[in-house]
Amino acid sequence: MACCRRSLTTSFSRLTSRLRPSCAHILRDDRETTEPTNPPPLPHFPSRYYSSDLVPSVSSYVGWRIPGFSHPLGLDSCLLRSYSSAPFPGEVAAAAADSFLPVAALQHLIDAVHSFMGLNWWASIALTTVLIRMLIVPLLLSQMKSTAKLSMIAPEMEQIRKQMNTMDPKTSQEGQKRMKEFFEKHGVTPFTLLRGLFIQGPAFMSFFFAISNMVEKVPSFKGGGTLWFTDLTTPDPLYILPILTALSFLATVELNMQVGMEGNLMGKNMKNFFRVLAVLTVPFTARFPKVFN
């Protein structure tokens, strides 16, 4: 009996020693206390351009799906359209950095209308054009009144001009003096007909250079249009916009130069010149980006 008991004890001891290494992680001593360890922090990858707290990712919205529907929630097209037309911070500032002061001022004005009004680029440019025209309307009205006054005094001016064309130097000097006094009396000058060009010319050139610079340096212009002219940086293949531009220019010429042209040969010649220029506007602007039309 003693031998059997010793044999069983030895066998149990060997079995215990074999099981202990493999089950040590299960059969731990409950009396052992270990300090809790914090999990390692997640890796942080900083954004190259924007903070994730300020600009949420588009993918976090466009991926939402409703059970039972095969398409996303419908936010993908709206958000992507808004993101495509919205300028990145500094786009317009970078374009205006190397521009002259009037050109840079117009670029910032267009950007302000685009940002505060929430309009697309084409609508922002159109609204800015209307604002500029409203500012110069008083000057144009003054020019039209002066043109009408110049037409009314044209017969008297013709008499003085004939006196100036005489061969007598004394009579010619008297005619020049009389013409100067005549202009001062009626508040007009020989350059009254060109006042509108002097007013609108600098504004037009500033607008042209401002838009040209933004076409090259503002990528969001590619999605800033509507209807058939979504991309504002390419020409209009249908030639609709150049034709509309020519018609609007012709209407402006007919309306602005309608009063005060009776009996004024110089005014009639200028009107015919601008009519021809309106027709030439179509081939001239056909290769321009759509934003210019």
Q: Where are the domains of the chain?
A: 81-153+188-292
Q: What is the rounded average pLDDT of the residues 98-114?
A: 83
Say which residues have a Cβ less than 8 Å from residue 62's Cβ, sequence separation at least 6. 72, 75, 76, 79, 80
Among 40-44, 79-83, 154-158, the range scoring the smallest mean pLDDT is: 79-83
pTM for this model (two decimals): 0.51
Among 78-87, 129-138, 174-183, 280-289, the range scoring the smallest mean pLDDT is: 78-87
pLDDT of the residue at 44: 46
C-alpha closest to that of 289 among 215, 207, 204: 215
The number of residues in the chain equals: 293
pLDDT for residue 76 is more than 50: no
Q: What percent of the chain has pLDDT over 70?
A: 57
Beta strands in 219-274 (DSSP E): none
Q: What is the rounded average pLDDT of the residues 243-264?
A: 70
Q: What is the rounded average pLDDT of the residues 202-225?
A: 80
Q: What is the rounded average pLDDT of the residues 58-64?
A: 41
Average pLDDT of the chain is 67
- Ramachandran region of residue 39, left (φ > 0), alpha (ψ -120 to 50) or beta? beta
pLDDT of the residue at 168: 67
pLDDT of the residue at 5: 53
Mean pLDDT is highest, among 62-76, 158-172, 230-244, for: 230-244
Alpha helices in 49-167 (DSSP H): 59-62, 75-85, 91-97, 101-117, 121-152, 154-164
Neighbours of 176 (CB within 10 A): 13
pLDDT of the residue at 102: 82
Q: How sure is the predictor about 151, in pLDDT bands with cuts at 50, 70 and 90?
A: confident
C-alpha closest to that of 210 among 117, 92, 116: 92
Q: What is the rounded average pLDDT of the residues 192-201?
A: 71
Q: What is the rounded average pLDDT of the residues 38-55?
A: 44
Orientation of helix 154-164 relative to helix 169-186, angle to 10°: 160
pLDDT of the residue at 279: 84
Among 122-131, 155-164, 279-288, the range scoring the smallest mean pLDDT is: 155-164
Q: How many angstroms separate the first and last alpha carbons of the chain? A: 115
pLDDT of the residue at 45: 44
Give the tokens for residue 23: 């089950």
132 neighbors 207 (Cβ within 8 angstroms): yes
Give the tokens for residue 113: 């209308």
pLDDT of the residue at 259: 52
Q: What is the rounded average pLDDT of the residues 140-144?
A: 76
Q: How sure is the predictor about 273, in pLDDT bands with cuts at 50, 70 and 90?
A: confident
Q: How sure is the predictor about 193, in pLDDT bands with cuts at 50, 70 and 90?
A: low
- Any idea which residue has 């980006």 for tokens? 289
Considering only residues 24 and 240, tell me which one the structure prediction assigns the higher pLDDT. Answer: 240
Q: How sure is the predictor about 13, in pLDDT bands with cuts at 50, 70 and 90?
A: low
**How buried is 127 (Cβ within 10 angstroms: 0-12 exposed, 13-18 middle, 19+ buried)?**
middle
Task: Give the chain's largest Cα–Cα span.
Answer: 165
Residues 141, 147: Cα–Cα separation, whole Å: 10
Considering only residues 243 and 198, tell me which one the structure prediction assigns the higher pLDDT. Answer: 243
Say which residues have a Cβ less than 8 Å from residue 1's Cβ, sequence separation at least 6. none
